[in-house]
Amino acid sequence: MAQKDQKGLTAQKENDFSEWYTQLIQKAELIEYSPVSGCYILRPNAYHIWEKVQSFFDALIKADGVKNCYFPLFIPESLLTKEKKHVAGFAPEVAWVDYGGDTKLGERLAVRPTSETIMYDAYAKWIRSHKDLPLRLNQWNNVVRWEFKHCTPFLRSREFLWQEGHSVFSSDSEVRDDTFKMLNFYEQTFREMYAIPTLKGKKSEGEKFAGAVYTLSVEAFLPNGKAIQGATSHHLGQNFAKAFDIQFSDDQQQKQYAWQNSWGISTRSIGMMILMHSDNKGLVLPPKVALTQVVIVPILFDNSRKAVLKEAQDVVKRLTTKNISVHLDDRDDYTPGWKFNEWEMKGIPIRVELGPKDLEKKQVLIVRRDTGEKKAVSLVKLDVEIPALLETIQQSLFDKAEKYLKRSIVTVLNFKDAEKQLKTEKLLFVPWCGKPLCEEEFKEKTGAKSLNSPFEQPALKNGQKCFACAEKATVWFYFGKSY
């Protein structure tokens, strides 16, 4: 047979997480490396996941009244540095354009790292009265942050895709509600599309966006014991309104600075999904984001070939009318076993095997990618069983991840226990003083930092001490090693 070499993973998820990931994203044809270090090619299998997430989230925000728009990729230096506080820490990561051809530009241009400055400059022109508010705009775009840390496809790259939402309201309370609402949309997207449970909460003073009054986040916990921030929603207060002079006249004709928020989710979330669900055979895709949800592998022999293929084509038709994306793998020069491995590597949620013996019994064999479970299903029941099984798989991936998350969280009250639990890949729930310096010192000693604090706080005992510095604790917080 003219088939290519079998190309399974040679590293295991349990033993060499990072090598396993590197092999998987290439062998599942998600990523190709590009000539620029830190910039990666998203192949169709990966881009499709993004498109699915994009349509889901886009529908959520549009139904809520947000509109899409597009702002330029280039931001003049004078504009980018207008709000000094927010850009200070990020300055080393900005990529610049100095020339057009051989001509030096009068002012250098930043390649968009995020769009606050260029958008709010326009907002200041558009907003005059409270009747212009709320203004709720979103962009689906690419951004560049010239990372100097080690890059990893999806998780940390120098260019990535995301959405950035930027809304303006006439009161603090409206922004507050909206900032929480957007966070809930992110939680829902991770849950329903990626089958990932997240912890919702508020970031610490040290970890919040410098331009924000506060930052909310969703955080996930990956199977290697590392937490990862999935998306953020920032309450910006009037900080940017003051820097960019965004004012409106209220119903008493009084001028007031506007209230703002911003919120984003990026292609990093695809990496989180891969790390969460995949195994030593390759990618495991939640059915909701899979380009192909069902692959049919016919078992072909010369004398029954025609009949088997005819039935397989019929199954394709029936499933397609049920809005399921099916692929019939009728390639001649590959063995069924080779095909099984390939589709397992690519994470297709359900494999349907159909051979002459199945045909005689008017049945097929269906195989779940996530658990490997096999089951014979009668042909007439297929268009009910397959959609149901896709839903079961989606739910069961979530349930498994949620069980893992729940059993990984441990409450610890002192430094020694914290250190011990971090070594066994746990996520800490701790009474904390909330001080940036305490967090910094803890990170230096253990490599772990604060993630967020849940909105529903257990009561703190009278005189409860900070788990790390033994000062007075003020808040319950999640801490963990993280990406």
Where do contacts with ligand 87F occur on this chain (CB under 6 A)? 86-87, 90, 93-94, 113-114, 116, 145, 164, 209, 232, 234, 262-264
Measured at the CA of 114, the angle between CA 42 and CA 271, to 5 degrees, comes to 35
The tokens 């995301």 sit on which residue?
162
Rounded distance between C-alpha atoms, residue 183 and residue 200, angstroms: 8
178: amino acid identity, one letter: D
Minimum separation from the CB atom of position 165 to ligand 87F (A): 7
Residues 6+ apart with CB under 8 A from 355: 298, 299, 301, 304, 308
Supply the minimum distance, in Å, between the C-beta of residue 371 and ligand 87F.
Answer: 37
- Closer to ligand 87F at the Cβ: 119 or 348? 119
> Would you say 18 or 68 has its CB closer to ligand 87F?
68
Residue type for 321, please? T
Phi, psi of 162, rounded to the nearest 5 degrees: -160, 180
Give the amino acid at 168.
Answer: V
Is the separation of the CB atoms in 196 and 455 below 8 Å? no
Closer residue to ligand 87F, CB minimum distance, 211 or 349: 211
Shortest distance, position 442 Cβ to ligand 87F, whole Å = 23
Q: Quick one: 77 or 425, whose CB is closer to ligand 87F?
A: 77
The distance of closest approach from Cβ of residue 79 to ligand 87F in the complex, given in angstroms and rounded to an integer, is 12
Distance CA 116, CA 477 (A): 29
Can you tell me the distance from the alpha carbon of 449 to that of 453, in angstroms, rounded to the nearest whole number? 12
Cβ closer to ligand 87F: 17 or 146? Answer: 146
Complex with ligand 87F: residue 130 or 235, whichever CB lies closer: 235
- For ligand 87F, give the closer residue by CB, 209 or 476: 209
Which residue carries 């055979």 as its tokens?
281
> Which residue number, 161 or 328, has a Cβ lying nearer to ligand 87F?
161
- In angstroms, the CA 237 to CA 122 distance is 18
What's the closest the beta carbon of residue 193 comes to ligand 87F, in angstroms? 19
Nearer to ligand 87F, 145 or 369 (CB): 145
Q: How far is the CB of 428 from ligand 87F (least distance, A)?
A: 24
Q: Is 137 exposed, middle or buried (0-12, 13-18, 19+ CB in 10 A)?
A: buried
Using the structure block, give the residue that is written with the tokens 């025609």: 306
Cβ 335 to ligand 87F shortest distance, Å: 48
Nearer of residues 57 and 263 to ligand 87F, judged by Cβ: 263
CB of 160 to ligand 87F, least distance (A): 11
Angle between helices 268-277 and 17-27 (to 10 degrees): 110
Residues 6+ apart with CB under 8 A from 387: 322, 324
For ligand 87F, give the closer residue by CB, 216 or 386: 216
User: Rounded to the nearest whole angstrom, what is the least distance from the CB of residue 154 to ligand 87F in the complex?
Assistant: 17
Q: How far is the CB of 99 from ligand 87F (least distance, A)?
A: 21
How many residues belong to the chain? 483
Task: Report which residue type is found at 281.
Answer: K
Closer residue to ligand 87F (CB): 156 or 400: 156
Adjacent-strand bridge partners of 164: 139, 264
Token representation of residue 424? 């066994």
Burial 115-124 (b: 16+ CB within 10 A, else e): bbbbbbbebb
Specify the residue, 145 or 426, whose C-beta has the smaller distance to ligand 87F. Answer: 145
Residue nearest to ligand 87F (CB): 264
Least CB distance from residue 381 to ligand 87F, whole Å? 47
* Cα-Cα-Cα-Cα dihedral sign, residues 392, 398, 401, 402: negative
| Both structure tokens of 94 | 């900005």
> Least Å distance between CB 94 and ligand 87F?
5
State the minimum distance, in angstroms, from the CB of residue 145 to ligand 87F.
Answer: 5
